[in-house]
Amino acid sequence: MDKQVERFKLEFPSKSRESDALDFLNEFAEANTVIHGSGGLDYVESYDEWLKKLEEDRVRKPTEQRVPAETYFLIRESDNRIVGVISIRKVLNKALWNFGGNIGYSIRPSERRKGYNKINLFLALCVCKNRGMEAVLIDCEKRNIASARSIQALDGKLLYEYMDEELGYEIQNYVIDVRHALDKFGDKYAPMMFEYPA
Ligand SMILES: CC(C)(COP(=O)(O)OP(=O)(O)OC[C@H]1O[C@@H](n2cnc3c(N)ncnc32)[C@H](O)[C@@H]1OP(=O)(O)O)[C@@H](O)C(=O)NCCC(=O)NCCS
C-alpha cells in the first residue's frame, strides 16, 4: 500500500502555540544548533514579546534599518506539530542585499532529512507570490549542503559566491524566480499542503 503523504501548512504564530513553540525552540538548544528564520524567537525575552515583534515586522514600513517581514511555523497535519519555521523579508535594504536575502528557515533537528524544508520553501514562495514578489534572493553558507539543495530543488540559480573573510567561510547567493518555481513544482507539492497560504 502507498505510504500516506504528509501534509503541511504555514501558520502565523499565535498565543495558543506558546508551549509548542518553546518545545520547538528547546530542541535547537538541546542539539546546540542555531535557529534561522524565526524572526528572533531565540533572543526575545518572552513569547508575548516575540508575537508583538512579529506583528510589528509584518506591517513595518521599510527603512535602511528595518524591513517588513512575515514569519511562519511549518505545521504537520497528522499531529499538528511545529516542524519548522520560515521568515520572509518582503523588501530588501542594502544590508540584506549584501547578506541575509529574502528568506531564512529552519527545520527542527528531529525532523530533518525528510524533505520538509523543500515544502517549507515552496509554501513560502506561495506567500511571496501573494505579496507580489517576483523573485527572491537567498544566501547560504557553501558548506550548508542541506540549505543549498533545498534552494536548488526549487530551481534556485546560483548568482555568485564569495569568501566572507570576517565570517571565515564561503557564502553562496541564489535567486529563485517565484512564478517559475510555483508553475514547475506546483503539481509535486500540491498534495503536500492542506491549506494554501493566504
Ligand atoms: C537547512 C535545513 C533547513 C534543511 O532542512 P531539511 O528538512 O533537513 O531539508 P530537506 O529534507 O528538505 O532536504 C533538502 C535537500 O537537502 C538534502 N539534504 C538534507 N540534509 C542533508 C545533509 N545533512 N547532507 C546532505 N544533503 C542533505 C536532501 O537530500 C535534499 O536534497 P535533494 O532534494 O537533492 O534530495 C536544516 O538542515 C536546518 O534547519 N538547518 C539549520 C538552519 C539553517 O542552516 N538554515 C539555513 C540558513 S537560512
Separation of 118 CA from ligand 1 center, angstroms?
Answer: 8
CATH number at residue 131: 3.40.630.30
Asked whether residue 3 is domain-assigned, the answer is no
The pLDDT value given to residue 52? 98
pTM score, whole prediction: 0.97
The answer on pLDDT for 3 being more than 80 is: no
Number of Cβ atoms within 10 Å of the Cβ of 184: 12
- Our count of domains for the chain comes to 1
Beta bridge partners of 104: 87
Tens-place pLDDT, residues 162-196: 999 999 999 999 999 999 999 999 999 999 999 99
**What does the pLDDT look like over 152-167, one tens digit per residue?**
999 999 999 999 999 9
Contact criterion met (CB below 8 Å) for 120 and 36:
no
In a domain, 197, yes or no: no
Report the mean per-residue pLDDT for the chain.
Answer: 96
In a domain, 79, yes or no: yes
CB 35 within 8 A of CB 27: no
Is 1 a member of any domain? no
As for ligand 1, residues whose beta carbon falls within 6 Å of it are: 36-37, 104-107, 112-118, 140, 144-147, 149-150, 153
Q: Tell me how crowded residue 157 is: count the other CB atoms within 10 A of its CB.
A: 12
Question: What does the buried/exposed string (b/e) look like for 171-181 if buried means 16 or more CB atoms within 10 Å of the residue's CB?
Answer: bbbbbbbbeeb
pLDDT of 1 higher than 90: no
Asked whether residue 148 is assigned to any structural domain, the reply reads yes
Residue 2 falls within a domain, yes or no? Answer: no
Would residue 99 count as lying in a domain? Answer: yes
Domain limits for position 101: 8-192
